[in-house]
Structure formats: structure tokens, C-alpha cells
């Protein structure tokens, strides 16, 4: 006997039950459709390619909870807690579907043995869920780790409390319904916890009518709460259960964090980049709804860690709130969209980003923060002609001098580093298969030239046949692109591709991860398909082939700093470490933040030239602390910017005696002789 | 309002001083390899001044540059910034002209363009720094000239110009057409608007030779030049450093004050 077969105030329970379902699902779908239309305010973007692969990988990552297990640190158990809750609710969801079928008065039935087994599983699962919720409550309200700390809006606080209460209540109601049912109908072989409760209820000596009445009431309460939660979720701002799976499904499958070019057909537009909600793409708007507020991005953001105004989470949530605020009017066509720059997102936030990608790397639901920041920069630079003075200086230098360095910043000329070196410098009409692309910093800045020369000597020692461009090499365009000055980048990309083709270049080796990423991942969109190898990959290969032997005992304790554009952007973590471990008698120690969680040196995204905003400290000083913390005598890196940033922070903190920074090519050269 | 801006391509003034080489005998500067020449800084400000007027009053901006064929780059830069059109004036006869010869060539080109309300020049070139061409050009064109402008406003057919003087500024008015030379006080030039960069890069800049502008050979003859370069040398820079000491900081300060009073 199910409570739906009873009659309430003359209305059959059956109608009440399915009526409630119809209303709840109706309200849910209406709101869901509204949110779907909000996403549709954005510009279309084709993310339906390789749909089979997308679906399988999304199902796999969600079912395994690989997404939420991307933990902030080894000691943070939030991911495990979420996984418990997710799997637990998964079991309950199946249970709800089964029991709605059984108890909905549809005349369905299943073997009672199965029912008992499933209920027993739910008994145990509910314990796990309640445990996970308790830990979450303790974390959120008592221990309060930094990543969860934020100035919550009132409605968010209400949502969090409602969520925890509803989840706990549903678990408790599961036990109550079960216990009451077994007691009221005096059923045998009860599931473990339900059984304990049932015997207790029977032992109180309550009449079976009382038990039955209470059971009916609690049974209805359980469904009302469940349906209430269904309606409440899309109406609250807790939208991630609805939109995160879609966000994972439509994640970028191209090279990580490669930027979308402004296509030629849009070059004649009046406005570029993003300043208003409809300027975003649909995926970018979906990102906003998918955010889980978890704060992993913020906890890993170098700007945020050093007290700048940027927090990737706040930026996303502010944009989301703005979307929910202005969305209805935009959908109704009642109002024109307002610019968000200055009000929803400040210019300081936009310029504080080093594009290191740490936020995207740890985001459990594949939010693409960096693209949004670059799109906002594109609007500032290309449409509004507004940028920090240091950014303007950099861009002007790139424009008139072909590189971002200028005057007193560099005492060298582009081709100077090649003088007195026996190098094959390409002139007009010369051809070569392999080009060593030096990059602006490696050619112009004294300290970096040392690393460049070390690399050429390593290549020569391994009898590699390579050429260089010398004075005709220009910038790859990366600093302009990351600063939002897209057209300067496109021009440089086109020019460089022409140069590579004119010399018949097949393979490009470069020591700069920014050039590497740009030429490898971004030039193909402009017709430049070359084999691009980073110097660490090339050296690792030379060692593997036996063409390079590291024989000298350096007796050194080293730590390796992962350049963001080599590690996170291109997943090159292994090769540099292999090389260092191949040096006899060296000990490689890892910093607490390393590999994909490595902290940026502070110079990415044009920040070698764009002045760092005031904060609690400078990013390179924070990173210096990480390196000093390992007790290593040397920090090795594989990026000209990182090398500079370490040199600067070591000098500033007067740590020359305890730590030395070297480019990987320099240490390889030292280990050869 | 139609404006003509004269721009010059110069050796990058930002190159490290140690890289600056001259050929004393030929009395010429040897441009270092791998350093692209740039637009003269003051001329870039003149372009900015023209753009600000265009922002308010519409009209057309034409850029002119006398120099090598490479000067097309500075015209392209001006077009990227917002100029509508531009020409390069290049001829073997134009090489090594003095200020008078340069002004003559520019005047002939401006007369060929014909209609204009305003001619803008930088206050001086960033390489030789004579600061003469603007005034001579106005003289040849027979129009008023105001130098060292820090602000230009147009009203009907009159221009109101804030002109920098040693202890402040003065405000002058001139009827159009006239010529104004622009100082860096006018403010930072803008960054070229995005897509114009790509458009300008692909643009073919016409080259005008002596016969295209009807320049008379006698006027370009070096024999008739008003000035002559006698010699060319790189200035030597001497710095001396003397540590001022004292038993106490107050002592050291007193010594420093004494030293300074002798120097003044």
C-alpha cells in the first residue's frame, strides 16, 4: 500500500502526487529554458565537433569525479567530499526513479529482495553523504580555508544554508520513511539502519494507525522536499549541477589556451573584443553559469596570491550576476547592453592577469578564464585605446622596432649576439631546414644572451646543423596578442610565416616558451605549419640519441621552475626533468607548487613590460620564496622571462649567495665539459 | 578640414649610444644594421594633432615624407594612426638637401596636392634637430606660421593655438590656411586602431619624383644650398664622480652645500 492510493480531502493521492510532479517539472523547465536563452545571448561558437569523443570523455570525467578531484593541494579533501556527495546522490537518484515508479500508483513492482538490497545500499550511502556534508559544513563555517573565503552576497549565504539543510534533510527523511514503513506495515528483513529505527518505533508501543499516519505524512514531506529542491535549484544561483556537465562537454579541444583570432571579415567592425554581455560567445556565457564557486582558481592565481584586485572566481561570479541581472531585459529587447568594463570588471583586474592559466588548469568544470580576460583587453586596446602606459610603450615598441624592448631597457641591437660566433646567419635567398629561433629577450637582454649562446654551443657540440636569423628576426607577436592588440600580432604572424617559408624552414627550435607556444599552436591558424620544438625537448632528444653526453659531475641540489607556457600550455613537464636527472650526481628537488600547479614567475601575458600593480608582494618574490624553501642551490628554468624574473627577485632580496638561477641550456653546457 | 602632415623617417633615437657610428669623412651617419628607422617623435605628435582636429571637424589627412623609398613605412604608420592618404618624395636629387631644399621639395608637393587648410610639421626632426623646415615651408607657401604648438583649436576659418614659450605659453590665432609646428607638449600619440594596421601594411604608397612635383633642378643643386656641413663628430661624454664625505651626515651635507655653491 502506497500513500498515493489514499484519498486526501476527497482528492485521490494519485492525482495530488502526479500533479505535484507536473507543477515542479513545469517550473523547473520554464526556468531552465530561460537560463538556456541567456546562454543563447552570446555569439554562436562551434563546439559540436568530435561530439562522440566529447560525450564519452564528459561522462567519464563526471562519473569518476575526475573533475572535482582536481584538488587544490594534497591536504585539501574537498574534492573527495564532493565525489562522495555526487556518487551518493547518484545512488539516490536511481532510487528516487525506482521508487517513484513503484509508489506512484502505476502498478509496477520489483522483487522485494532487490528492494531490500537497494535500500540497504542507500542506508550506507546516506551515511557517507551526511559525513561529507558535515565535513563541508565544518570547512565552510569553521576552518574556512582561504580559497572559500569571499564576500558572499546575502542570497549566496542563503543558498548555501538551504543546500546543506535540504541535502541533510533528504538523507534523514530516507531513514525516517524507511523505518516508519517497516514499522507501520510490520515488514520483516528490514535494511540495517531502517531496521534499527523500525524496531525502536515498534518498541515505543505506538499504535499501527499512528505509525501509518506518520509514515504517510513523512512520505509526502520527502517528495515535497525533493520536488522543492528541483524547483529551487535553477531559481537559485546554485546552477552548477545543471550547467557544469554541459560546460565540460563543450570544453575547448584545441591546443590549451590558444586564442581565437579576430577573423578578417570582422576587421572592419567598429568594436572589438568584449565589453557587453552579447559580445561573449555562448560558451563563454555557459562558463558563467557553470561556476561552482569552489575558488580553486583564486587559490592558484598569482595575481590573487600577491594581493592584486584580480580574483578569477570573483570575476566570473560578478559577470554571472550581471548576466542574471540584465539578461531578462536583453531577452525582451527592452534595453541595449551596457559596457561591463569599469563596473562589473575593473581595468585593474583585467590588466593584473599574467595569462599563466593556473585558474583554468584547476577549474573542475573547464571554465576558460584567460580568453575572457584577453577579450576584455581587446576591447580596451582596440576599441577604447585604453591601457596602462607601460603596455602602450611595449606595443609602440613592437610596432616601430619589431620587438618590445627599447632604448635604455636594452643595450644591444638585434643581431649583436651573433657577432664573433660561428653561426649560419640566414640572408635573403638562403635556405635551411632547422632554424634556431632566439626570441627578442634572448637576443637583446644581456643575461638572456648568455643562455642563448649556451644553447648554440650545446647544439654545435651535438653537431646539429642549424641556422639563425640574426638581425632580421622580429618578435613572434605574443606580447601584443596577450595584451589584446590582436592586429599587431596577426601582422607579425603573417610576416614571420612569410620569412620561414622564404628560407624553406622545416623545423624551428626555440628556447622561449612564449615563442614556442605561439609558433606551434597559434601560427597554424595563419597558414604556418612548422615542426616546432622547445630547446628542452630538443636537448632531451639529443641525450636519448646519445649525441650529447652529460658527464661532468656537478654535485648540485637543483630545483626546476616550470614556465607556464611550456608546462601548463604545452604539457612539457617531463623533458626538462629528464635532462636534469641525467646530470651525474645532481639532486632534483621539487617546489611545493610545481608542474601543472607551478606558480607563474609574474612575467607572462606581456607582464615582462606591463608594470605590476601594487599588492602585498611581487609575484617573482613569492616564487623566490618557493625556490628558497627547497634548500636548492640552483633554480633552473627554461624561459627567458622566468630567468629575468628570478634574477631580479634574487638581486632584490639579496639572495645571491644562497640561490643561483640558470637556464637549462647553461646547466647542460656546464655538465658537458 | 584638410590637413597635410609632413613626417620624417629618422634613425631610431632609442638605440644605445655605443651603437651610434658616423663616417666623419663622408659627414654621414652610418645606420646600424637590424635597426628599423622610425617616425621622428615630433612628427608623430603632429600626426596626433591632425587626428584630434579630424576627430572633431572631420576632413582629410594627407601625410608627406621626403626620404628614401623606405619612408613608405612612416607614411604607412601615419595611415595606420588615421591619416587617409600619403606620398613619399624620393629622388636622387633630394638626397642630402639642407632645410631650404627640403622645404622647397615639400612645398612643391603640397602645391601639387592643392587644397589644404592646415599644414602640420613636428617642431624639429629627431635626428638633425634644426627646427627650420616648418618656417621656411610656410614662407615658400606664403601662409602664416605658428611654431611650438601644444594645443590647436579650430573655429570657422581660424585656428587658435597655444604656443609654448620659455616661461609658460601664449595663445595665438591665425587664419587658415596656415602652418603649425607641433611640440611634444601636445601629448602622447594614440596607438594605431587595430584593423588600420593591417590595412596600412598592405597599402601601396605612391612615390613622387622631382619631375612629378615639378621641382626645378637649379633649386635642388647642392651649389645653391644655404648651409653646408663642415664636420660631423660624436659628442664625447665625460662623467666625473666625487664622493662627498663628512664625519656626520650633517657634516657631509655642509660639505655638499659648499661644493654646490661653488659650482653655481
Sequence-ordered list of residues with C-beta below 8 angstroms from that of B237, at least 6 positions apart, any chain: B17
Residue of B nearest to A402 (CA): B36
Residues of B in contact with A487 (CB under 8 A): 194-195, 197-198
Question: Could you read off the pLDDT of A351-364 as tens digits, one per residue?
Answer: 999 999 999 999 99
- Report whether pLDDT(B27) > 70: yes
Q: Could you tell me how far CA B142 lies from the centroid of its own chain?
A: 21
Q: Domain-by-domain residue ranges, chain B?
A: 2-224
Architecture of domain A264-386: Orthogonal Bundle (1.10)
- Report whether pLDDT(A33) > 70: yes
Question: Could you read off the pLDDT of A305-323 as tens digits, one per residue?
Answer: 999 999 999 999 999 999 9
pLDDT for residue A189:
82
User: How is residue A333 written as a grid cell?
Assistant: 529587447
Residues of B in contact with A400 (CB under 8 A): 12, 36, 38-39, 77
Residue of A612, A611, A609, A556 whose CA lies nearest to A587: A556
Rounded to the nearest 10 degrees, the angle between the axes of helix A282-290 and helix A13-39 is 130
Average pLDDT over residues A234-262: 93
Q: Domain-by-domain residue ranges, chain A?
A: 3-45+76-238, 264-386, 393-672
Question: Could you read off the pLDDT of B188-222 as tens digits, one per residue?
Answer: 898 887 778 888 988 999 999 999 999 999 999 98
User: How is residue A122 written as a grid cell?
Assistant: 542507500
Residues of B in contact with A472 (CB under 8 A): 34
Question: Could you read off the pLDDT of A527-553 as tens digits, one per residue?
Answer: 999 999 999 999 999 999 999 999 998
Residue of A nearest to B31 (CA): A413
CB contact under 8 A, A487 and B12: no
- Report whether pLDDT(A297) > 90: yes
Which range is least confidently modeled, A403-412, A428-437, A452-461, B20-29? A403-412
Question: Could you read off the pLDDT of B134-158 as tens digits, one per residue?
Answer: 999 999 999 999 999 999 999 989 9
pLDDT interval class at A409 (50, 70, 90): low
pLDDT for residue B192:
86
User: How is residue B130 written as a grid cell?
Assistant: 634644426
- Report whether pLDDT(A408) > 80: no
pLDDT interval class at A407 (50, 70, 90): low
pLDDT for residue A411:
67
CB contact under 8 A, B16 and A411: yes
Number of A to B CB contacts under 8 A, please give it. Answer: 71
- Report whether pLDDT(A642) > 80: yes
- Report whether pLDDT(B18) > 70: yes
| Cα separation, B89 vs B135, whole angstroms | 19
Looking at chain A, the whole-number percentage of residues with pLDDT higher than 70 is 98
pLDDT for residue A71:
66
Question: Could you read off the pLDDT of A73-114 as tens digits, one per residue?
Answer: 666 788 888 999 999 999 999 999 988 988 888 888 888 888
B136: alpha, beta or left? (left if phi > 0; alpha if psi -120 to 50): alpha
Write out the DSSP string of B113-174: H---SEEEEESS-SSS----HHHHHHHHHT--EEEEEEEEEEETTEEEEEEEETTEEEEEEE
pLDDT for residue A515:
98
Burial of B14 (0-12, 13-18, 19+ CB in 10 A): middle
pLDDT for residue A395:
94
Residue of A89, A62, A91, A67 whose CA lies nearest to A78: A67
pLDDT for residue A410:
61
Residue of A422, A592, A572, A401 whose CA lies nearest to A492: A401
pLDDT for residue A418:
93
| Cα separation, A196 vs A177, whole angstroms | 13
Residue listed under C-alpha cell 601584443: A480
| DSSP at A414 | T
Residues of A in contact with B79 (CB under 8 A): none
Which range is least confidently modeled, A317-331, B46-60, B236-250? B236-250
Please provide the CATH number assigned to the domain covering A3-45+76-238: 1.20.950
**Which position has the higher pLDDT, A673 or A503?**
A503
ω before B177 within 30° of 0 (cis)?
A: yes
| Cα separation, B135 vs A164, whole angstroms | 80
Look at domain B2-224 and name its CATH class: alpha beta
- Report whether pLDDT(A496) > 70: yes
CB contact under 8 A, A267 and B18: no
Looking at chain A, the whole-number percentage of residues with pLDDT higher than 90 is 79
Amino acid at each position: 500500500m502506497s500513500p498515493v492510493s489514499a484519498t486526501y480531502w476527497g482528492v485521490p493521492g494519485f492525482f495530488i502526487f502526479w500533479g505535484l510532479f507536473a507543477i515542479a517539472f513545469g517550473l523547473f523547465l520554464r526556468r531552465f529554458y530561460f537560463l538556456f536563452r541567456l546562454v543563447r545571448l552570446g555569439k554562436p561558437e562551434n563546439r559540436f565537433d568530435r561530439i562522440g569523443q566529447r560525450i564519452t570523455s564528459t561522462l567519464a570525467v563526471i562519473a569518476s569525479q575526475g573533475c572535482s578531484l582536481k584538488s587544490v593541494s594534497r591536504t585539501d579533501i574537498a574534492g573527495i567530499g564532493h565525489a562522495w556527495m555526487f556518487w551518493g546522490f547518484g545512488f539516490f537518484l536511481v532510487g528516487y526513479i525506482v521508487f517513484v515508479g513503484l509508489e506512484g500508483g502505476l502498478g509496477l513492482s520489483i522483487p522485494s529482495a532487490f528492494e531490500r538490497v537497494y535500500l540497504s545500499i542507500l542506508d550506507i550511502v546516506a551515511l557517507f553523504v551526511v559525513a561529507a556534508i558535515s565535513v563541508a559544513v565544518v570547512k565552510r563555517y569553521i576552518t574556512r580555508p582561504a580559497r572559500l573565503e569571499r564576500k558572499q552576497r546575502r542570497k549566496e549565504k542563503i543558498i548555501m544554508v538551504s543546500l546543506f539543510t535540504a541535502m541533510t534533510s533528504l538523507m534523514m527523511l530516507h531513514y525516517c520513511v524507511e523505518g516508519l514503513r517497516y514499522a507501520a506495515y510490520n515488514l520483516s528483513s528490514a535494511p540495517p539502519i531502517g531496521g534499527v529505527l523500525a524496531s525502536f518505533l515498534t518498541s515505543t508501543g505506538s499504535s499501527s494507525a499512528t505509525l501509518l499516519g506518520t509514515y504517510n505524512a513523512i512520505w509526502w514531506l520527502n517528495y515535497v522536499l525533493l520536488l522543492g529542491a528541483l524547483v529551487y535549484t535553477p531559481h537559485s544561483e546554485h546552477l552548477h549541477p545543471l550547467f557544469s556537465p554541459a560546460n565540460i562537454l563543450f570544453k575547448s579541444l584545441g591546443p590549451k589556451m590558444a586564442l581565437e583570432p579576430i577573423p578578417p571579415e570582422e576587421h572592419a567592425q567598429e568594436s572589438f573584443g568584449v565589453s557587453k554581455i552579447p559580445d561573449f560567445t555562448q560558451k563563454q556565457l555557459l562558463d558563467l553559469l557553470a561556476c561552482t564557486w569552489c575558488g580553486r582558481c583564486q587559490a592558484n592565481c598569482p595575481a590573487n596570491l600577491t594581493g592584486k584586485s584580480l580574483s578569477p572566481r570573483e570575476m566570473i561570479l560578478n559577470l554571472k550576476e550581471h548576466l542574471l541581472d540584465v539578461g531578462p531585459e536583453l531577452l525582451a529587447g527592452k534595453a541595449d547592453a551596457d559596457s561591463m568594463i569599469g563596473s562589473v570588471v575593473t581595468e585593474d583586474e583585467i590588466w593584473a592577469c599574467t595569462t599563466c592559466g593556473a585558474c583554468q588548469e584547476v577549474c573542475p568544470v573547464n571554465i576558460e578564464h584567460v580568453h575572457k580576460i584577453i577579450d576584455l583587453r581587446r576591447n580596451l586596446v582596440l576599441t577604447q585605446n585604453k591601457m596602462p602606459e607601460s603596455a602602450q610603450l611595449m606595443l609602440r615598441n613592437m610596432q616601430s622596432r619589431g620587438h618590445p624592448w627599447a632604448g635604455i631597457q636594452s643595450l644591444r641591437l638585434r643581431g649583436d649576439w651573433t657577432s664573433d660566433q660561428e653561426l649560419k646567419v640566414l640572408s635573403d635567398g638562403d635556405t635551411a631546414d632547422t632554424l634556431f629561433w632566439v626570441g627578442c629577450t634572448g637576443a637583446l637582454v644581456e643575461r638572456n644572451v648568455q643562455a642563448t649562446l649556451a644553447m648554440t654551443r650545446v647544439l654545435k657540440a651535438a653537431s646539429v646543423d642549424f641556422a639563425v636569423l640574426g638581425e632580421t628576426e622580429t618578435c613572434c607577436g605574443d606580447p601584443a596578442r596577450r595584451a589584446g592588440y590582436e592586429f599587431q600580432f596577426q601582422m607579425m604572424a603573417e610576416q614571420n610565416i612569410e620569412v620561414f617559408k622564404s628560407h624553406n624552414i622545416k623545423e624551428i627550435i626555440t628556447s622561449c616558451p612564449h615563442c614556442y607556444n605561439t609558433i606551434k599552436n597559434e601560427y597554424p591558424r595563419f597558414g604556418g605549419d612548422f615542426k616546432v620544438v622547445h630547446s628542452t625537448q630538443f636537448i632531451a632528444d639529443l641525450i636519448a640519441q646519445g649525441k650529447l653526453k652529460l658527464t661532468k659531475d656537478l654535485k648540485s641540489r637543483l630545483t626546476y621552475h616550470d614556465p607556464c607556457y611550456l608546462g601548463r600550455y604545452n604539457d612539457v613537464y617531463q623533458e626538462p626533468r629528464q635532462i636534469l636527472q641525467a646530470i651525474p650526481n645532481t639532486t632534483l628537488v621539487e617546489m611545493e607548487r610545481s608542474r601543472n600547479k607551478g606558480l607563474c614567475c609574474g612575467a607572462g601575458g606581456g607582464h615582462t613590460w606591463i608594470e605590476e600593480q601594487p599588492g602585498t608582494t611581487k609575484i617573482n618574490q613569492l616564487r623566490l620564496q618557493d625556490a628558497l624553501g627547497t634548500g636548492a642551490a640552483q633554480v633552473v628554468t627554461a624561459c627567458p622571462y622566468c630567468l629575468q624574473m628570478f634574477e631580479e627577485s634574487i638581486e632584490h632580496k639579496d639572495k645571491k649567495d644562497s640561490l643561483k638561477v640558470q637556464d637549462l641550456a647553461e646547466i647542460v653546457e656546464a655538465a658537458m665539459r | 578640414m584638410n590637413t597635410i602632415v609632413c613626417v620624417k623617417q629618422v634613425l631610431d633615437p632609442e638605440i644605445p649610444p655605443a651603437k651610434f657610428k658616423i663616417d666623419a669623412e663622408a659627414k654621414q651617419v652610418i645606420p646600424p644594421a637590424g635597426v628599423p628607422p622610425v617616425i621622428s617623435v615630433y612628427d608623430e605628435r603632429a600626426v596626433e594633432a591632425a587626428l584630434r582636429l579630424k576627430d572633431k571637424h572631420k576632413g582629410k589627412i594627407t601625410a608627406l615624407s621626403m626620404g628614401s623609398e623606405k619612408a613608405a613605412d612612416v607614411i604607412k604608420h601615419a595611415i595606420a594612426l588615421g591619416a587617409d592618404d600619403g606620398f613619399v618624395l624620393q629622388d636622387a636629387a633630394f638626397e642630402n638637401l639642407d632645410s631650404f631644399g627640403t622645404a622647397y621639395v615639400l612645398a612643391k608637393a603640397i602645391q601639387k596636392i592643392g587644397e589644404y587648410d592646415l599644414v602640420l610639421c613636428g617642431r624639429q626632426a629627431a635626428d638633425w634637430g634644426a627646427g627650420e623646415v616648418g618656417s621656411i615651408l610656410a614662407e615658400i607657401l606664403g601662409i602664416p606660421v605658428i611654431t611650438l604648438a601644444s594645443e590647436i583649436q579650430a573655429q570657422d576659418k581660424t585656428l587658435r593655438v597655444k604656443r609654448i614659450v620659455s616661461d609658460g605659453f601664449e595663445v595665438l590665432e591665425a587664419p587658415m590656411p596656415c602652418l603649425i609646428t607641433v611640440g611634444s607638449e601636445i601629448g602622447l600619440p594614440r596607438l594605431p586602431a587595430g584593423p588600420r594596421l593591417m590595412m596600412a601594411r598592405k597599402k601601396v604608397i605612391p612615390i613622387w619624383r622631382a619631375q612629378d612635383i615639378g621641382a626645378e633642378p637649379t633649386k635642388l643643386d647642392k651649389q645653391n644650398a644655404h648651409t653646408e656641413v663642415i664636420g660631423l663628430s660624436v659628442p664625447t661624454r665625460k662623467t666625473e664622480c666625487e664622493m662627498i664625505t663628512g664625519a656626520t651626515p650633517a657634516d657631509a651635507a655642509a660639505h655638499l652645500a659648499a661644493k654646490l655653491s661653488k659650482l653655481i
